[in-house]
């Protein structure tokens, strides 16, 4: 939690405006996570072990998206 606050504060320049490079990097990261999420949601499997792994991966991605 403290890391998130520090990261958001560091994304602001001295004049209080967002740093464009850091905002762009955050947007790229969000887009990559959303694409991974879509691929997982599109995957179909009847194997319970594979399904459990996909659900764990999906939960991890969604937690990372919530942090951004």
Q: Could you tell me the residue ranges of all domains in the chain?
A: 2-67
* 28-53 per-position pLDDT tens digit: 999 999 999 999 999 999 999 999 99
What's the pLDDT band for 21 if we cut at 50, 70, 90? confident
Exposure string over 30-67, b if 16+ CB within 10 A, otherwise e: eeebeebbeebeeeeeeeeeeeeebeeeeeebeeeeee
């Amino acid at each position: 939690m403290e890391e998130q606050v520090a990261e958001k504060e560091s994304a602001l320049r001295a004049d209080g405006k967002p740093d464009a490079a850091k905002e762009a990097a955050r947007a790229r990261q969000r887009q990559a996570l959303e694409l991974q999420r879509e691929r997982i949601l599109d995957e179909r499997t009847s194997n319970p072990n594979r399904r459990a792994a996909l659900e764990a991966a999906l939960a991890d991605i969604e937690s990372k998206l919530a942090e951004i």
